[in-house]
């Protein structure tokens, strides 16, 4: 198979891996032992489902694409033995039946970074709100979210035994998004979704400044973008630095592939290259329509708290004056202290997701 299909093959392998991961997380719930661990605190949990799903996805993709950098949310022991039945190698036939858009024909392994959130909506998962949970695999090319898989393992779980459980939504910019029914949101309302379990006064103030007719508080970045693409809400507004690249890469690509946008709160792009800081320090704003209207609604006193992945012109000039090179992913505190702007060194320790040595072939800086 030609190199021009590389991106399509990664998407097809991701769809298969997400399906397997969904089986695994459903199995963990059935076992009754969630193995909950607090990471940075009680608002940041990890369960056996998060761990097992990441093992499955990362091992499956790494086996098939050993030269592609893969970053997962959970810090796991790279030397751990992965059960053989966790590793999938099939390419999803529906994805492979599509023609890869011409624009990707020259994409090579070293231009791709895969961002894995093995279980998005962990807080809600531990509370039994199962339809808030998704498995997210985002694929970035040259630092931009280009393709994504959002698997909802418990879709239809309350629809009776006849209903098929789980669904896979996937998208590739230039091709479209598949696996759901697109609907237009009600024209006479302004429904805004935001976090259910990671709120504070800035989060609420930012939502209120967008004049919501109703606030829909649900778990998961993936789930909130599903509400957007199915026309159940008009915007996803999250004025917090809590979301990371693995939360937004897949949802951004799926949304963008049908004409929507996911940016930071300032309307600037979120970047996804290998060395970008993991947290979304600019917050998150996603819409299908009227994106700039929402950007303009965010008041200056809220905007001031957020920093885009893309350095501003002023930052670039400041750094040039200091004679230092600038890499995207820096923040103002790093600039003022002269700290290294590159890679995870700009992340506070609780956000640092080190490259999984075993699964990244990239040279370390």
Residues near ligand A3P (CB under 6 A) = 43-44, 73, 117, 120-122, 195, 197-198, 219-221, 240, 242-243, 247
Pick what 243 binds: ligand A3P, Mg ion, none; C-beta below 5 to 8 Å, kind-dependent.
ligand A3P
Pick what 343 binds: ligand A3P, Mg ion, none; C-beta below 5 to 8 Å, kind-dependent.
none
Determine the distance from the C-alpha atom of residue 103 to the mean position of all C-alpha atoms in its chain, rounded to a whole number. Answer: 23
CB of 293 to ligand A3P, least distance (A): 22
Closest-CA residue to 97 (of 167, 19, 165, 15)? 15
Locate 296 and state its tokens.
């303009």
Q: How far apart are CA 152 and CA 200, in angstroms?
A: 27
CB of 180 to ligand A3P, least distance (A): 20
Instruction: Report the greatest alpha carbon distance in the chain.
Output: 66
Residue of minimal Cβ distance to ligand A3P? 242
Nearer to Mg ion, 94 or 200 (CB): 200
Direct distance between the N- and C-terminal alpha carbons of the chain, in angstroms, rounded to an integer: 33
Q: In what order do the strands lie in the sheet with 235-238?
A: 214-217, 191-194, 235-238, 284-287, 261-263
What ranges make up the beta strands (E) of 121-250? 134-141, 144-152, 167-172, 176-178, 191-194, 214-217, 235-238
Residue of minimal Cβ distance to Mg ion? 120
Nearer to ligand A3P, 219 or 260 (CB): 219
Nearer to ligand A3P, 136 or 140 (CB): 136
CB of 198 to ligand A3P, least distance (A): 3
Q: Count of alpha carbons within 13 Å of 213, Cβ hemisphere only? A: 10
Pick what 292 binds: ligand A3P, Mg ion, none; C-beta below 5 to 8 Å, kind-dependent.
none
- Contact set with Mg ion (CB under 5 A): 73, 117, 119-120, 122, 247
Burial 10-36 (b: 16+ CB within 10 A, else e): bbbbbbbbbbbbbebbbebbeeeebee
CB of 160 to Mg ion, least distance (A): 29
CB of 204 to ligand A3P, least distance (A): 13
* Residue of 5, 16, 50, 347 with catalytic role: 50
* Catalytic residue list contains 355: no
* Residue of 47, 122, 193, 195 with catalytic role: 122
Pick what 219 binds: Mg ion, ligand A3P, none; C-beta below 5 to 8 Å, kind-dependent.
ligand A3P
Nearer to ligand A3P, 242 or 269 (CB): 242
Q: How far apart are CA 308 and CA 265, in angstroms?
A: 8
Pick what 333 binds: ligand A3P, Mg ion, none; C-beta below 5 to 8 Å, kind-dependent.
none
Pick what 274 binds: Mg ion, ligand A3P, none; C-beta below 5 to 8 Å, kind-dependent.
none
Residue 44 to residues 54, 102, 165, 197, Cα–Cα distance (Å)? 16, 41, 27, 10
CB of 128 to Mg ion, least distance (A): 17
Nearer to ligand A3P, 54 or 308 (CB): 54
Pick what 43 binds: ligand A3P, Mg ion, none; C-beta below 5 to 8 Å, kind-dependent.
ligand A3P
* Sole residue written with tokens 């970035």: 140
Nearer to Mg ion, 5 or 74 (CB): 74
Locate 74 and state its tokens.
């959970």
Q: How far apart are CA 86 and CA 109, in angstroms?
A: 23
Q: What single DSSP character describes residue 190?
A: -
CB of 206 to ligand A3P, least distance (A): 13
Strand partners, 38: 45
As a dihedral over the C-alpha atoms of residue 126, residue 128, residue 133, residue 135, rounded to 10 degrees, the angle is 60
Q: Give yes or no for a contact between 196 and 98, defined as CB atoms under 8 angstroms apart.
A: no
* Catalytic residue list contains 122: yes
Nearer to ligand A3P, 73 or 274 (CB): 73
Active site residues: 50, 122
């Amino acid at each position: 198979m030609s190199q021009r299909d590389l991106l399509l093959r990664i998407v097809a392998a991701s769809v298969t891996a997400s399906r397997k991961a969904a089986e695994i997380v459903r199995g963990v719930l059935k076992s009754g032992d969630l193995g909950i661990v607090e990471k940075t605190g009680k608002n940041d949990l990890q369960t056996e489902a998060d761990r097992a799903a990441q093992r499955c996805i990362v091992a499956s993709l790494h086996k098939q694409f050993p030269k592609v950098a893969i970053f997962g949310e959970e810090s796991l022991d790279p030397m751990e033995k992965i059960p053989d039945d966790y590793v999938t190698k099939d390419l999803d036939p529906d994805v492979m039946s599509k023609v890869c858009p011409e624009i990707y024909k020259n994409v090579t392994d070293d231009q791709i970074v895969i961002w894995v959130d093995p279980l998005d909506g962990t807080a809600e998962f531990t509370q039994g709100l199962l339809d808030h949970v998704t498995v997210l695999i985002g694929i970035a090319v040259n630092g931009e979210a280009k393709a994504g898989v959002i698997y909802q393992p418990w879709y239809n779980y309350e629809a009776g035994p006849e209903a098929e459980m789980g669904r896979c939504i996937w998208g590739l910019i230039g091709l479209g998004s598949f696996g759901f029914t697109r609907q237009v949101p009600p024209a006479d309302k302004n429904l805004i979704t935001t976090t259910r379990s990671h709120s504070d006064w800035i989060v609420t103030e930012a939502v209120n400044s967008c004049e919501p007719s109703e606030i829909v508080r649900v778990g998961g970045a993936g789930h909130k973008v599903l509400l957007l693409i199915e026309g159940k809400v008009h915007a996803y507004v999250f004025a917090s630095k809590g979301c990371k690249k693995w939360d937004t890469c897949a949802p951004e690509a799926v949304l963008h592939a049908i004409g929507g946008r996911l940016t930071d709160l300032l309307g600037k792009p979120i970047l996804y290259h290998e060395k970008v800081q993991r947290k979304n320090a600019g917050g998150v704003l996603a819409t299908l329509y009227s994106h700039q209207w929402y950007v303009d609604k965010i008041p200056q006193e809220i905007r001031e708290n957020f920093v885009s992945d893309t350095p501003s012109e002023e930052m670039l000039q400041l750094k040039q004056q200091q004679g230092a090179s600038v890499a995207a992913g820096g923040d103002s505190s790093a600039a003022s202290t002269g700290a290294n702007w590159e890679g995870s060194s700009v992340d506070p320790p609780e956000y640092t997701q080190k490259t999984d040595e075993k699964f990244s072939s990239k040279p370390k800086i």
